[in-house]
Amino acid sequence: MFIRNKSAIAGLLLMTLVLALTLVMPAFYPVDPFDIVWGPLAPPGDAPEIPLGSDFVGRDVLAGIIHGGRATLAVGASAALITVVIGISIGAAAGFYGGFVDEILMRLTEFFQVLPALLFAMVLVSLFSQSLATIAIAIGVVSWPPVARLTRAEFLKIKELEYVKAARAIGARNRRLIWRVILPNALPPLIVSATLTIGVAILFEAGLSFLGLGDPNVMSWGLMIGFNRDFVVDAWWAVTFPGLAIFVTVLSVSLIGDGLTDALNPKLRDR
């Protein structure tokens, strides 16, 4: 089960760490991440007031890590949610109904798939506003096609199985077949893909911020990397620590995803 799975436990521990850092720590470390508190480019360990050093204008890197996580996680999670909701709805409808519906929805999916994702997201963000909400929506809108294709493939496979026929024979309507019969059986690969999506979304947000399209009013890990990208050679700490934070978060999410897949599979439950 979930608890017995080693990688799931490691993932949970890491996730707890990340959540503690971003949700609890800000209360204990009330330094505004935008305040200039020191001289520029002080390396970590230089002074006890700035344990992880300062960036190119003298902002506290540790304050950025602690206060910037919330925005990164929020954007990552909501973008992943949008991706999964759009992807599963479109994939499920295409796979279940087939025919004309499938044809239309798959052409739409292909249309979104051939658009260069980062470029398209950049267009969306610069067209509307550079706010966290827009960024999350933009990431969601460009990343759903793989989820939709995966969902469709699972639905195509599962809808032909006997137990779907049997469910029809007890009087289940289409809505019920889609959500209560087929989707639960299609979940394992979708969960893996959803957790990967959270990771990708966090990286995507970092990428947008790096390109200067992040929300400039809210500190995030990606924004920190973006600010300091020109000083990588002189001040490795200002980009390495937020990068590390992103890495640990993405890793913990995918470990949890792996564990969930095993936990949700009844066949592995009593082994």
Partner 1 sequence: MSAPLLELSDVEVEFRTRDGIARVLNRVGFSLSSGSTLGIVGESGCGKSMTALTIMRLVPQPPGRIAGGIIRLDGENLLTATEARMREIRGNEVSMVFQEPMTSLNPVFSVGNQIAETVRLHQGLSKREALDRAVEMLAAVGIPVPERRIAEYPHQLSGGMRQRVMIAIGLACGPRLLIADEPTTALDVTVQAQIFDLLIDLKERTGTSIILITHDMGAIAEMAERVVVMYAGRIVEEGPVEVILGDPLHPYTRGLINCVPHLEERPSPERRPLTEIAGMVPALTALGRGCAFAPRCNHATALCREQAPPLEGGDEHRVACWLHER
Q: Which residues bind partner 1 (CB under 8 A)?
A: 161-163, 165-173, 181, 184-185, 187, 264, 266-267, 269-270
Give 127 or 162: the residue with its C-beta nearer to partner 1: 162
Question: How far is CA 195 from each of CA 27, 83, 192, rounded to the nearest angstrom?
Answer: 29, 11, 5
Q: 113 or 185, CB closer to partner 1?
A: 185
Shortest Å, Cβ 143 to partner 1: 27
CB of 160 to partner 1, least distance (A): 10
Question: Which of 41, 67, 24, 87 is CA-nearest to residue 221?
Answer: 67
Closest CB to partner 1 among residues 70, 168: 168
Nearest approach in angstroms of CB 61 to partner 1 is: 47
Structure token pair of residue 262: 């095993």
Task: With beta carbons less than 8 A apart as the criterion, state whether 146 and 196 touch.
Answer: no
| 3 state DSSP class of 176 | helix
* 255, 6 Cβ separation under 8 angstroms: no
* 216 Cβ contact partners less than 8 Å away, ≥ 6 residues apart: 130, 223
Q: Which is closer to partner 1, CB of 4 or CB of 165?
A: 165
- Shortest spacing between CB 161 and partner 1, in angstroms: 6
Question: What gap in Å lies between CA 77 and CA 116, rounded to an integer?
Answer: 22
Least distance from C-beta 270 to partner 1, angstroms?
8
Q: What is the DSSP letter of 50?
A: S
Closer residue to partner 1 (CB): 129 or 269? 269
Tokens representing 263 are 């936990």
Q: Least separation, in Å, of the C-beta of 86 and partner 1? A: 24
Amino acid symbol at 47:
A
Q: Closest CB to partner 1 among 28 and 162?
A: 162
In angstroms, rounded to a whole number, what is the distance separating the alpha carbons of residues 135 and 200?
13
Q: Which residues contact 98 (CB under 8 A, 6 or more apart)?
A: 156
